[in-house]
Amino acid sequence: MKVYQTDEIRNITLLGNAGSGKTTLSEAMLFESGVISRRGDINSKNTVSDFREIEQAQGGSVFSTVLYAEWNNKKINFLDAPGPDDFVGGVISSLYVTDTAVMVVNSQNGVEVGTEIQWRHAARMNKPVMFVVNHLDHEKANFDKTLEELHHSFGKKAILVQYPLSVGSGFNSVIDVLKMKMLKFSADGGKPEVADIPASEKDKAADLQAQLVEIAAESDESLMEKFFENGTLTEGELRQGLESGFRNRGLFPIFCVSAKKNMGVSTFMDFVVNVAPSPDKMPAPKAADGQEIPCDSNAITSLFVFKNTIEPHLGEVLAFKIMSGKVDEGADLINTNRQGKERLAQLFAAAGKNRTKINQMVAGDIGVTVKLKETKVNHTLNAKGSDFIFSSSFNLDPKYRTAIKPLNEGDAEKLGEALGKIREEDPTIIVEYSKELKQIIIHGQGEHHLNTMVKWHLDNYYKIGTEFILPKIPYRETITKLAPASYRHKKQSGGAGQFGEVHLFIEPYVEGKPAPTSFKNEGKEQNISVRETQEFDLAWGGKLIFYNCIVGGVIDSRFLPAILKGIMEKIEEGPLTGSYARDIRVAVYDGKMHPVDSNEISFKLAGLNAFKQAFKAAGPKIMEPIYDVEVLVPGDRMGDVMSDLQTRRAIIQGMQSEHGFEKIIARVPLSEMNKYSTSLSSLTNGRATYTMKFTEYAQVPPDVQDKLLKEYEAQQTEE
């Protein structure tokens, strides 16, 4: 393969709802460009893109796949991204390293919720978008309805470049309003026969071309002036306007294809190489320090690793984009994240698991390499003299959690290693070893996401038996009023005994409240004097304030750290449910010692038990984590979704309409969100999606608190 220069490279991501036909379109592009000699299909499980066992088992993309095509002396790097929202990590990482988003739309279904979601990602990352309306050969295809929905959802900037003469089983011709020609395809697809537009279609085609010319002229002031002067643009001026408008998201071209029959694919690829921007024409990406790094092949070499695939008998295959400079086979680079040296012994252009060896690659190109020592996803490799680090492309909040445990306790270490490798392939999976909950908690984008990426791989690839179990909720405990308590620890068992007595009171922590000077004890006002204050920001949130109010040496100062240690132990395992306690002020004001039997363990236990007694008398409350939840749902399913949320103790914050969908904004307790992704999918036939983000802790209702207390007491009795 020749070394393609930056201006000869086009990087695109194929997006679309599950079932839109991205993988089939990929297959057609590979076939048309000669990368493969025979097209595979999803049902036969022999496509280049969905080559992994899990994808063939499920009949759809789970990972993004790196592919390439050589077309008209240009190189198109294209990434086939997953359709289901559960696997959105592949969408985000693909958009991060490409310059154009190609939205594939199923003409049977029109604009689906997945189309809308992925459009948002492309818009947030400021990527140009073109639409490819697929499945036009299907008997249920409805191009007019699809076009209407595209305009409704994305505005009139979604502009026709082609339209079909007919759809359904007879689909074989499109009118190209850019070239003002009819393109007719044979039964085998491929390059079309170019013919004049039929007389019956000339007026319609002329009107559409006029719309295209006008929107292209709007992208450039000088072109707009020429348009007003001449009433039209020349072919060169039209192309200039299309390039500028497309690059700046001023227009979104619409193409017509049947990927299955390979009709319209070659003209779509023509447009990509002629109009889509090369990497150097796009805004320069920014390193983590905010510095812009131009895509310049003459600059210092810098690579960003955006994808990791673990292949049997080969190990890690790392996909990268050259952000600047050029790289040769055998180059020595520095991993700036780990400060270690790496040698790129081999460079490849990838078409799924098929790889073509390359000697050199330049800025803007995408390739893969193998067998690096320390480099992982989201790492940056630089030539000596450069220290760029590119920001992580994964910043998604998880929206589903489950606990996992091995069926055989002896597999615990193997499970930890396997989860680490799974996370390397999909960084949207977060693995948390929770000391608080005494569980391994896995966070992801949905139940289907974790069943696929974690459970399936553990069962079938790593051969580790596991089960998902209900994750515990990280409750917090706190108090609502002041309460005093005292405890004497006394133990005599022959020889030296144990003795320690502690008097203290606790009260809620309120920011800005002055240190206490007195408190009521059995109805009497008791004055205290604070000798020392210690303030602790607790790792799990909130504060503990510890006041030493001892006078007259009734407790030796050397025992105060032991009292504090006992209190901290009980704060880490709250008296109500064993959850972390928070936002408490503790004042130790009196006590007793024994000249022989007093020691640190005695005062630790006295402090712990005094705190426990006071806590239970101080109006204790259990706090639960509350999440901000946004649900994007079709209007006809809104009532069902609202009703379901209300059964989950949701507080509806508001509703908005967005591009034909309704957005419900609510605050929901985490304990009520278990398996919500599955329930939502069932309620809406997979047409809705949601996001959730932690917002605060709030008191649980009295009936919920009573239930939690009884469950904890029963658990303690069993243990």
* 360: CB partners within 8 A, 6+ apart: 3, 326, 327, 328, 329, 347
Q: Is the pLDDT of residue 162 over 70?
A: yes
Give the residue from 287, 321, 286 showing the smallest Cα distance to 303: 321
pLDDT in tens, 465-475: 999 999 999 99
- What pLDDT is attached to residue 660? 67
Of the chain, the percentage scoring pLDDT greater than 90 comes to 77
* 418: CB partners within 8 A, 6+ apart: 457, 458, 462, 464
C-alpha distances (whole Å) from 620 to each of 248, 479, 714 are 58, 4, 19
* Alpha-helical segments (H) within 7-157: 22-32, 53-58, 88-97, 113-124, 143-154
- Three-state secondary structure string covering 195-206: ECCCHHHHHHHH
All domains of the chain in start order, with CATH? 6-212+250-281 (3.40.50.300), 302-382 (2.40.30.10), 400-472 (3.30.70.870), 480-619 (3.30.230.10), 622-704 (3.30.70.240)
- Three-state secondary structure string covering 335-355: ECCCCEEEEECCEEEEECCEE
Sign, CA dihedral 133-113-92-123, equals positive
Count CA atoms closer than 13 A to 381's CA, side-chain side.
26
- What pLDDT is attached to residue 222? 83
- What pLDDT is attached to residue 71? 97
Give the residue from 500, 702, 506, 695 showing the smallest Cα distance to 604: 500
- What pLDDT is attached to residue 257? 96
Phi, psi of 396 (to 5 degrees): -90, 135
- Distance CA(492)–CA(498), nearest Å, equals 6
pLDDT in tens, 250-306: 999 999 999 999 999 999 999 999 999 999 999 999 898 889 999 999 999 999 999
Number of residues that this document lists for the chain: 719
Identify which has the larger pLDDT, 708 or 56. Answer: 708
- Distance CA(697)–CA(674), nearest Å, equals 18
Coil, strand or helix at 307: strand
- What pLDDT is attached to residue 395? 67
Q: How far does Cα 77 stand from its chain's mean position?
A: 23
* 276: CB partners within 8 A, 6+ apart: 10, 12, 99, 100, 128, 130, 246
- Distance CA(689)–CA(680), nearest Å, equals 8
Q: Is the pLDDT of residue 394 over 60?
A: no
Give the residue from 164, 391, 150, 171 showing the smallest Cα distance to 260: 171
Let me know: does 503 contact 590? Beta carbons within 8 Å.
yes
Phi, psi of 88 (to 5 degrees): -65, -20
- What pLDDT is attached to residue 224? 84
- What pLDDT is attached to residue 221? 83
Of the chain, the percentage scoring pLDDT greater than 70 comes to 99
- What pLDDT is attached to residue 283? 92
Give the residue from 641, 608, 475, 598 showing the smallest Cα distance to 542: 475
Coil, strand or helix at 248: coil
Coil, strand or helix at 673: coil
pTM of the predicted model, to two decimals? 0.85
Stretch 65-83: mean pLDDT: 96
Confidence band of 353 (pLDDT split at 50, 70, 90) = confident
- What pLDDT is attached to residue 295? 96
pLDDT in tens, 498-512: 999 999 999 999 999
Confidence band of 310 (pLDDT split at 50, 70, 90) = confident
C-alpha distances (whole Å) from 494 to each of 286, 497, 498, 606, 617 are 72, 7, 10, 20, 35
- Distance CA(443)–CA(401), nearest Å, equals 4
Let me know: does 379 contact 673? Beta carbons within 8 Å.
no
Q: Is the pLDDT of residue 28 over 70?
A: yes
Stretch 559-569: mean pLDDT: 97
Q: Is the pLDDT of residue 494 over 70?
A: no
How many CB atoms are located within 10 Å of the residue 337 CB? 17
* 345: CB partners within 8 A, 6+ apart: 329, 330, 369, 370, 371
Stretch 149-174: mean pLDDT: 94
Let me know: does 422 contact 440? Beta carbons within 8 Å.
no
- What pLDDT is attached to residue 56? 86
Say which residue the tokens 């009521």 belong to. Answer: 520
Confidence band of 659 (pLDDT split at 50, 70, 90) = low
